[in-house]
Amino acid sequence: MPFAVGMKTFYSPVHLRHAPKQEFEGGRMQPAVEIPERAERVRAEIEARKLGPLLTPGEFGNEPLLRIHDPAFVIFLSEAHGAWTRRYGKDAPDAIPSAWPSRGLREQRSGDIESRLGSYAFDTATPITKGTWEAARTGVNTALSAAQALMQGERAAFALARPPGHHASADVFGGYCYLNNIAVAAQFLRDAGMRPAILDVDYHHGNGTQSIFYRRDDVLFVSIHADPSFAYPHFLGFADERGEDAGEGATLNLPLPRLTQWPAYAMAMDTGFERLRTFGADVLLVSLGLDTFEADPISRFKLKSEDYLRMGEKIASLKLPTLFVFEGGYNIEKLGEITANVLEGFEAK
């Protein structure tokens, strides 16, 4: 399909191979919400609006990935489904941990598949399927391809990567996330001599991204999210978390109450932008979660469709090369529309 010149979107159909059927959450097994149709709806809307070319990501090898993730963790993810099916059979359900080494127990990262799952996972909502590793690995290449486009002079690029990444830390997966796409891209840009700042606008705090950069002063992390006193991930994302050691002050959390609407959300963005400016970033990476939408099935904010146009406009006002990386958002009917609204609002400025 021909496009006018516009924002480049990097996308791969390999994400379709990660197709979890169920997750264990809220005390019961229920249908998965992080499903392939999420990215397909966004892709279709980008094509329908002719926002820019849809490009296949390149290959970057393991070096950028291993700048962020522990090598043993990467090996585990690549082997987990095979180990699971060898133990429980090829018709076994998706791999979900059944026990964790909480206080007083020992991690067993070299044990059987059950102990390894429990040692590397932090929830029961993030199953490992037959295609999870390929999809997650390709998601990293998608984010790196978009980052490379910025390095080559693009004003902005969109990594339509799936599964999402911002809950994955250096050696832990959860929250539908396995590899941290935006963290790998930020490190890639940092290694190229740039000074990255990450703005996370997902409803849920990007605990994995924060953990990766928490003791560093060369990558700023700003997150606007639902207060973890009532929202996932529950144990990280509070306002008093500001970084440690060299990273003191390079983390800014802006937790917001239930039912937050655009005026309060926009004020939080302005607060975050002040910190972005003082940090002196020369490139911006946006964890683009769309689960702040008023009709999202698992979240409790009240942003409307038109508010995402405003969000894109506000991000553009920073006048920085900007990499958007797809994260959450689970209202299938509106997800394509609100995602494209952000990109369109950005491009309009």
- Rounded average pLDDT over 50-57: 97
Say how far apart CA 317 and CA 29 lie, in whole Å: 43
| CB-count exposure of residue 5 (10 Å: 0-12, 13-18, 19+) | exposed
Query: What's the pLDDT score for residue 5?
Result: 66
Rounded average pLDDT over 14-42:
90
Q: 274 lies in a domain?
A: yes
- The CATH number that applies at residue 291 is 3.40.800.20
Residue 82 domain-assigned (yes or no): no
217 domain-assigned: yes
Tell me the residue ranges of DSSP E strands in 51-203. 54-55, 156-159, 196-200
Confidence of residue 196 (pLDDT cuts 50, 70, 90): very high
- Is 109 a member of any domain? no
User: Of residues 15, 18, 81, 167, which has the active-site annotation?
Assistant: 167
Output the six-digit token pair for 253.
């959390």
Instruction: Pull the structure tokens for residue 141.
Output: 């290449």
Supply the pLDDT for residue 233: 98
* pTM of the complete model: 0.97
pLDDT at 28 over 90: no
| Long-range residue pairs from 19-24, CB within 8 A, at least 24 positions apart, any chain | 19/129, 19/131, 20/94, 20/127, 20/129, 20/132, 21/93, 21/94, 22/93, 22/94, 22/127, 23/96, 23/124, 23/125, 23/126, 23/127, 24/96, 24/124, 24/125
Instruction: Give residue-wise pLDDT tens across range 87-136.
Output: 999 999 999 999 999 999 999 999 999 999 999 999 999 999 999 999 99
Tell me, yes or no, whether 72 lies in a domain.
Answer: no
Half-sphere exposure of 244 (CA within 13 A, CB side): 6
Domain assignment of residue 279, given as a range: 8-58+131-348
Angle between helices 71-88 and 132-151 (to 10 degrees): 150
Q: Is 205 a catalytic residue?
A: no
Q: What is the pLDDT of residue 127?
A: 96
Residue 4 binned pLDDT confidence (cut-offs 50, 70, 90): very low
Q: Which residues contact 271 (CB under 8 A, 6 or more apart)?
A: 252, 254
The arithmetic mean of pLDDT across residues 48-76, rounded, is 98
Read off the pLDDT of residues 122-175 as tens digits, 9 standing for 90 and up.
999 999 999 999 999 999 999 999 999 999 999 999 999 999 999 999 999 999
The secondary structure of residue 93, as a DSSP letter, is P
Which residues, other chains included, contact 88 with Cβ-Cβ below 8 Å and sequence gap of 6+?
none
**Could you report the per-residue pLDDT of 268-286, keeping only the tens digit for each?**
999 999 999 999 999 999 9
Mean pLDDT value across residues 75-91: 96
Q: What does the pLDDT average to over 292-319? A: 98
Residue 155: both structure tokens together? 């004003």
DSSP string, 165-229: -TT--SS-BBTTBSS-HHHHHHHHHHHTT--EEEEE-SSS--HHHHHHHTT-SSSEEEEEEE-TT
Q: Which residues of 13-26 are buried (b: 16+ CB within 10 A; e: fewer)?
A: ebbebbbbeebbbe
Give the confidence band of 2 by pLDDT, cuts at 50, 70, 90: very low
For residue 238, being part of any structural domain is answered with yes
Domain presence at residue 77 = no
pLDDT of the residue at 349: 83
Burial class (CB in 10 A: 0-12, 13-18, 19+), 313: middle
* Rounded alpha-carbon distances, angstroms, from residue 16 to 36, 55, 152, 177: 5, 16, 29, 15
Number of domains in the chain: 1
% of the chain surpassing 90 pLDDT: 95
Does a structural domain hold residue 296? yes
Q: What is the pLDDT of residue 29?
A: 80
Sorted by sequence, the CB contacts under 8 Å of residue 83 that are 6+ apart come out as 112, 113, 116
Rounded to 10 degrees, what is the CA torsion of 314, 318, 324, 329?
-30
